């Protein structure tokens, strides 16, 4: 399909502004610009019943988490959410609007995890931070008014990569039990050389050079890219993992590897719902204030998670 008209309008505006891509900025500049873009595209964040920032123990020191609580009486299911940003950009504000919408829509406690960023803290710091946070959630479910038997993980882009890695760690390293995984245009293969990777090189949006820039910050050694906790698509065994919703975008270099991962999960006996959003670019899930399909994708995630965590019917695509 042609690029969605709303996305094309963003593209024209970015050309007019002549702002350099994030990968041509200094790291501090890129971090500020990325957050500004996300806030501009997210729309007005929804109010939730309660929001609390706190610190929990992490493998490299204290981790900051943000807890979103819905209205009503618990115990609620709980979603651990990992923001995107190529393991290099992002903070708890990056996914704030998404977490609020998921909290209200699903009726779950959402815990956003402030994992350590590269290049200050390269792989495997972020993976182990996220796994430690999910273990903390399970151990403190009563304190969170949550149900430890209904834990989901999710994230977009690098956050989707981390969510997938956490499910592998939880399966192979003593839990906790995870009921569902939400993977929004996830990185799944460091060595990916697919049609979508080669074709998407528009410097107005996330492109294959962006991918290389983020990987260069995240990995201290390219050989680490073969590790399944970096490249879940390279895991030998994907059986026994939680049911997954995988969302991809047509004009995204990560499209094919996300869809390949969905296929591998399905072939391994994991229930999978896969949706490609036509005309969309990487990042659209966080653009619900300016791109209608972004809001639709969040509603799909809400309905799917509600189906997995509450047993209500799930939504079926855009």
Name the residues annotated as catalytic.
Answer: 157, 252, 282
Contacts of 221 (CB under 8 A, 6+ apart): none
Q: How far apart are CA 118 and CA 33, in angstroms?
A: 17
What DSSP assignment string belongs to 121-133?
S-TTHHHHHHHHH
Contact predicate 288/295, CB 8 Å: yes
Dist CA 52 CA 58 (whole Å):
18
Angle at 275 between CA 181 and CA 90, to 5 degrees: 55
Question: In Å, how far are 152, 240, 279, 284 from 276, measured between CA atoms?
Answer: 22, 24, 9, 12
Q: Which of 309, 247, 303 minimizes the C-alpha distance to 276?
A: 247
Quick check: 125 and 116 in contact, CB under 8 A? Answer: yes
- Number of neighbours of residue 274 by Cβ within 10 angstroms: 18
């Amino acid at each position: 399909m042609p690029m969605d008209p709303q996305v094309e309008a963003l593209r024209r505006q970015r050309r007019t502004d002549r702002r350099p891509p994030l990968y041509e900025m200094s790291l501090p500049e890129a971090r500020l610009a990325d957050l500004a873009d996300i806030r501009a595209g997210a729309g007005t964040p929804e109010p939730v019943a309660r929001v609390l920032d706190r610190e929990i123990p992490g493998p490299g020191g204290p981790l900051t988490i943000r807890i979103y609580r819905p209205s009503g009486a618990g115990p609620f299911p709980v979603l651990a959410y990992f923001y995107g940003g190529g393991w290099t950009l992002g903070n708890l504000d990056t996914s704030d609007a998404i977490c609020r919408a998921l909290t209200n829509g699903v009726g779950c406690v959402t815990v956003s995890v402030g994992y350590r960023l590269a290049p200050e803290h390269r792989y495997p710091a972020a993976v182990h931070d996220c796994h430690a946070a999910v273990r903390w959630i399970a151990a403190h479910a009563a304190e969170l008014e949550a149900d430890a038997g209904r834990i989901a993980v999710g994230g977009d882009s690098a956050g989707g990569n981390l969510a997938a890695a956490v499910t592998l760690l939880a399966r192979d390293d003593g839990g906790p039990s995870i009921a569902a995984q939400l993977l929004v245009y996830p990185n799944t293969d460091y060595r990916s050389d697919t049609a979508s990777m080669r074709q998407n090189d528009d410097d107005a949006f996330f492109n294959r050079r962006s991918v290389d820039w983020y990987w260069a910050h995240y990995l201290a050694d390219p050989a680490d890219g073969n590790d399944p906790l970096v490249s879940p698509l390279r895991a030998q065994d994907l059986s026994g993992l939680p049911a997954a919703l995988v969302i991809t975008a047509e004009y995204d270099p990560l499209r094919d590897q996300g869809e390949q991962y969905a296929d591998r999960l399905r072939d391994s006996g994991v229930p999978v719902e896969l949706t490609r959003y036509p005309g969309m670019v990487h990042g659209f899930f966080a653009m619900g204030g300016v791109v209608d399909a972004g809001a639709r994708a969040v509603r799909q995630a809400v309905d799917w998670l509600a189906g997995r965590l509450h047993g209500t019917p799930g939504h079926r695509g855009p």
